[in-house]
Amino acid sequence: MCGLIGIAEFSRSIEIPKAEIALQSIAHRGPDYQSRWTNGKNIYLGHNRLSIIDLSQTANQPLHSKHSKAVIVFNGEIYNYKKLKNELNYDRYFTNSDTEVILEGYLERGIDFFKKLRGIYSFAILDYRYTINKIILVRDPSGIKPLYYIKEKNSLKFASEIKALKILSKNLEIKSTSLRQFLNLSYIPEPKTVYKNINALEPGCYIEWCSNGESYKKKFFDFSFQSSNNSSFYNNIEKVEAKLLNAIKRNLVADVNLTFALSGGIDSSLVYNYANKFIDNIKAKTIIYSDEKRYNEIENSSIYASKFSGNHQFINLKEKIDLELINKIFLHFDQPFADSSAIPTYLLCREVSNDSKIIIGGDGGDELFNGYPSQTWLLYYYKYLGFKSLWKIIGYGHRIFPAKLARKLDRLKNLAYTSNDIFDLIYQKNSWLPIGTKINDIDVFIDSDNIHHQKQYKSLFSNEIPIKIADKIVFDHFRKNLLSDFLRKTDMMSMLNGVEYRIPMLDEDLCNLALSIPFKEKSNLITGKLHLRSLHKRYYPSRTSTSSKMGFRIPLDIMLSKEDKLIISNDLLDRNSIIYSFINRSYVEFLVDQLKSHDYPRIISREGIYQKILILYNLHTWHENQ
């Protein structure tokens, strides 16, 4: 796992000192070795290496082909590289790395070779065999490894993180639409970024950029989000287990130590169980919080770990989580980002870095196998969305029902304000500040035009959108929440600590199978992930297989000090803050009052208060640091 940058200028010379600063800005992604290659004029390739496969110096990058004019910079791992190596006609390898296999496979078989890759990756190949030089940018089908770029008529700049491109570019313009979407979602959905001329390369796509000014972008790998599997439920369970076993076996390929993230949930414990079939004495770590049972997963994770003789460690977050740590974590994302689970993810990866270079998690199972309750109830809610008056009447039940139920009913009422489009409904459901949110009968947003932002959200990855409503729900979770929130979180937090984060559940072959299984076979109104739960019961006590999803949460309401809350309050109430370009001040004042108090208002939960405050605070802090 590494960090790469690249610059190609065909109308002027490259500013090498600036390129060096950009390369150094992402040195945390590859602390083992830094190198660069330039033709001395208009092309620069830089690489920071985290050595995982073939630790020798001969595998350092940028890596050149011995017999052809081509060079590669690569971020990630190719798990099936040995198999692919044997399939190629080339037999004069000078490394034992997966990097060389990618390069020689491309030179022998072209773009089609990328379809065979199984792993996590983004890379760039400079092909200068011909009169017209070409640069090919490639990203893995699930989008686990990021690649950002700025493409202009006579230049191409790309990097593993936005911070490097900010150094290489001038006059970057902020997109207000992206900021508005952040305020709704707590992240900015790809392939857009907060900057108008910086984009993320879409998963499973490549860009071919030529020195004569021609360029194009195409897909080389397609997932079908249209369910079409005709097997029975029980046959599919066996298929899922076979694919999952193969995926985990692939993910164990490494020349360095591995550690597993073991939570109390279904997915990580299944991955942990199958991994123990292939290797002994597995290291595993679990995050816990002192005296906070509602956030801890001690009981279930202890049961999972006790089944095997590996080295399992509880990481108790006794240290104070303060604004200094929070600012360090969220400013690292280069653009507004406010998923609070980034905090424990960072702390987990920091602990893993003490004795391992790789952490393996259970991410992706929820998106593929309907692990979120909302995936299923949204489908049924959509069928009856036309009865808007009914939902609004039900919503008014918040006046008589207990607070927790009242908030859910109020949420249903707000969802009824949406259109009859499933993506509008999903956007509204995912929004922390949805349509209908008011304070003193005044809209929370100064600009109440939600349609424009929802339309742009709906248009993302439009070439992949399936036909059936149920499949659209799966598509949205996989291509939006997972890609732009959870995968960015794990990549940024692991690489900040010089650790590679692997995700077996997102193996290409397992994804293809999961996406082909009919929606209603994977979940019902009560339970999700039916296939994974059935497998889980084979290896663990049934009561652990029926537990509800807990999530990777952190008790900010308890861990933040009074002093930190005061600083946050003062920042949020700063009349010059960018917040007030979007949000009605009355609502910010309401949230600040709730931050300072210990009340439990009926209309909003304590967790809801802290998440909204985190969103506003991170927007303010990010903008102040521009």
Q: How confident is the model at residue 606 (pLDDT cuts 50, 70, 90)?
A: confident
Averaged pLDDT for residues 52-72: 95
Distance CA 268, CA 109 (A): 37
The beta strands (E) that lie in 2-118 are given as: 2-9, 33-38, 43-49, 63-64, 70-78
- Decide if pLDDT at 605 tops 80: no
Distance CA 546, CA 13 (A): 61
Encode pLDDT of 428-484 as tens digits: 889 998 877 778 778 888 876 666 777 888 889 999 999 999 999 999 999 999 999
Omega within 30 of 0 (cis) for the link into 191: yes
- What single-letter DSSP state applies at residue 159? E
Encode pLDDT of 115-128 as tens digits: 999 999 999 999 99
Encode pLDDT of 338-370 as tens digits: 999 999 999 999 999 999 999 999 999 999 999
Q: How confident is the model at residue 393 (pLDDT cuts 50, 70, 90)?
A: low
User: How confident is the model at residue 553, as a pLDDT?
Assistant: 60
User: How confident is the model at residue 394, as a pLDDT?
Assistant: 66
User: How confident is the model at residue 456, as a pLDDT?
Assistant: 85
User: How confident is the model at residue 402, as a pLDDT?
Assistant: 66
Encode pLDDT of 551-565 as tens digits: 556 667 677 888 999
Q: How confident is the prediction for the chain on average, in pLDDT?
A: 90
Whether the CB-CB separation of 200 and 188 falls below 8 Å is answered with: no
Encode pLDDT of 84-105 as tens digits: 999 999 888 999 999 999 999 9
Omega within 30 of 0 (cis) for the link into 504: no
Q: State the DSSP string of 268-304.
A: HHHHHHHHTTT-SS-EEEEEE-TT-TTT--HHHHHHH
Encode pLDDT of 202-259 as tens digits: 999 999 999 888 899 999 999 999 998 889 999 999 999 999 999 999 999 999 999 9
In the chain, the percentage of residues whose pLDDT exceeds 90 is 69
Whether the CB-CB separation of 331 and 303 falls below 8 Å is answered with: no
Q: Crossing angle of helices 233-251/530-537, nearest 10°?
A: 80
- Decide if pLDDT at 405 tops 90: no
> Higher-confidence residue: 78 or 394?
78
Q: What Rg, from alpha-carbon coordinates, does the chain have?
A: 24
Distance CA 186, CA 530 (A): 29
User: How confident is the model at residue 608, as a pLDDT?
Assistant: 83
Q: How confident is the model at residue 299 (pLDDT cuts 50, 70, 90)?
A: confident
Encode pLDDT of 160-214 as tens digits: 999 999 999 988 999 999 999 999 999 999 999 999 999 999 999 999 999 888 8
> Higher-confidence residue: 565 or 393?
565
User: How confident is the model at residue 55, as a pLDDT?
Assistant: 96
User: How confident is the model at residue 440, as a pLDDT?
Assistant: 79
> Higher-confidence residue: 626 or 511?
511
Nearest Cα neighbor of 335 from 171, 447, 209, 192 is: 192
User: How confident is the model at residue 16, as a pLDDT?
Assistant: 94
- Decide if pLDDT at 38 tops 60: yes
- Decide if pLDDT at 408 tops 80: no
User: How confident is the model at residue 57, as a pLDDT?
Assistant: 95
Encode pLDDT of 481-526 as tens digits: 999 999 999 999 999 999 999 999 999 999 999 999 999 999 998 9
Whether the CB-CB separation of 121 and 98 falls below 8 Å is answered with: no
User: How confident is the model at residue 550, as a pLDDT?
Assistant: 57
Residue with tokens 């290496």: 49
Encode pLDDT of 302-318 as tens digits: 899 889 988 999 888 76
